[in-house]
Amino acid sequence: MIYARGLVKRFGEFTAVDGIDLEVAPGEAFGFLGPNGAGKSSTMRMIGCVSRPTAGELRILDMDPVREGPAIRGRLGVCPQTDNLDPDLTVFENLTTYARYFGIPRPEARRRAAELLEFVQLTEKSGSTVDPLSGGMKRRLSIARAMINEPDLVLLDEPTTGLDPQARHLLWERLFRLKQRGVTLVLTTHYMDEAEQLCDRLVVMDAGKIVAEGSPRHLIETHSTREVVELRFGDEPPAAYVEKLAGIGQRLDPLPDRLLLYSDDGDGAVDEVHRRGFTPSSVLVRRATLEDVFLILTGRTLVD
């Protein structure tokens, strides 16, 4: 579905995407995980044929985005980072009007619109205008709209940014269903739980480069320990404990508010902390996540 080699996007002197390689297979849910400014959207815009690569090779659906952009776009579904729904139209009309861009005959457009509204659980809002909808509803409508041309490949740029947890979970559930139907999904996110829940495979991006690639489980197994111990020491700076706790676990990463101790045996590591005579004000043993992978690879957190 997507093939890229040495893909570069520059804005003047600034390199936003710095020579990335990737391949996405049919039916995959593929993610770009990285903090703000990593180059995820710039990559998505090249894949969506709305931004021309500065250098490198890019093929989408086995076509050349520069020469065959319109043909590719006809087979893509795009859900942009900020909703650009038409506020003058109803929910239903937003779908049927969009269908016209693809030359879908009116009766077929109406049939698809009704089916998609059912799918995103917005049938009851069919006659409403867009403004009164919640953020989560607008996102679901954007996703329905992206599906109107029955695309082979769906691009979702930060599908749940700004939504409350409940709205996010509902959206994930719908995206998961799309994936089960065999739709190829490509999404960007800076939420590690989104990447873990939805993506079969992902690339971790930082400063325009891919710093790791694989399934969420593979990335965690390769770059992190199984468990992580989070220690807090009241008002004392976590960095003050790095030396004192040296040798417990495989590494210690001080964040502003806590110390992360990486160990396959979290409880054993906590016992050792106590044996050395330290009593943290709070202790949490949890499984490692993609956030840890990002921290280990870049020394920074995904979300500030």
Ligand X SMILES: Nc1ncnc2c1ncn2[C@@H]1O[C@H](COP(=O)(O)OP(=O)(O)OP(=O)(O)O)[C@@H](O)[C@H]1O
Q: How far is the CB of 74 from ligand X (least distance, A)?
A: 24
Under 8 Å between Cβ of 244 and 261: no
Binding mask 189-218 for ligand X (x = CB under 6 A): -x----------------------------
Instruction: Examine residue 34 and tell whether it contacts ligand X (CB under 6 A).
Output: yes
Out of 41, 96, 142, 225, point to the residue binding ligand X (CB under 6 A): 41
Q: How far is the CB of 231 from ligand X (least distance, A)?
A: 30
Out of 5, 6, 25, 37, point to the residue binding ligand X (CB under 6 A): 37
Out of 8, 40, 133, 201, point to the residue binding ligand X (CB under 6 A): 40
Q: How far is the CB of 303 from ligand X (least distance, A)?
A: 10
Whole-angstrom Cα distance, residue 137 to residue 147?
15
Nearer to ligand X among residue 11 and residue 176 (C-beta)? 11
Stretch that binds ligand X, among 31-39, 133-141, 144-152, 216-224 (CB under 6 A): 31-39
Whole-angstrom Cα distance, residue 229 to residue 194?
22
Q: How many CB atoms lie within 10 A of CB 18?
A: 16
Instruction: Examine residue 159 and tell whether it contacts ligand X (CB under 6 A).
Output: no
Instruction: Examine residue 237 and tell whether it contacts ligand X (CB under 6 A).
Output: no
Tokens of 10: 């520059």
Tokens of 8: 């570069």
Q: How far is the CB of 158 from ligand X (least distance, A)?
A: 6
Half-sphere exposure of 299 (CA within 13 A, CB side): 1
Instruction: Examine residue 36 and tell whether it contacts ligand X (CB under 6 A).
Output: yes
Whole-angstrom Cα distance, residue 244 to residue 266?
17
Stretch that binds ligand X, among 29-37, 54-62, 97-105, 177-185 (CB under 6 A): 29-37
Residue spans of alpha helices (H) in the chain? 40-47, 69-73, 91-101, 106-119, 135-146, 165-180, 192-198, 216-223, 266-275, 290-298
Instruction: Please name which of 180, 184, 115 lies closest in space to residue 151, comparing C-alpha atoms.
Output: 184
Instruction: Examine residue 6 and tell whether it contacts ligand X (CB under 6 A).
Output: no
Whole-angstrom Cα distance, residue 290 to residue 82?
25
Whole-angstrom Cα distance, residue 237 to residue 244?
13
Instruction: Examine residue 132 and tell whether it contacts ligand X (CB under 6 A).
Output: no
Q: How far is the CB of 52 from ligand X (least distance, A)?
A: 12
Out of 39, 48, 53, 249, point to the residue binding ligand X (CB under 6 A): 39
Out of 2, 8, 20, 42, point to the residue binding ligand X (CB under 6 A): 42
Nearer to ligand X among residue 184 and residue 188 (C-beta)? 188
Whole-angstrom Cα distance, residue 157 to residue 169?
17
User: Residue 44 carries which side chain, given as an amino acid letter?
Assistant: M
Stretch that binds ligand X, among 33-41, 56-64, 87-95, 260-268 (CB under 6 A): 33-41
Out of 6, 11, 274, 286, point to the residue binding ligand X (CB under 6 A): 11
For 288-301, give the DSSP string: --HHHHHHHHHSS-
Whole-angstrom Cα distance, residue 170 to residue 234?
37
**Interface with ligand X (CB under 6 A):** 11, 14, 16, 34, 36-42, 188, 190
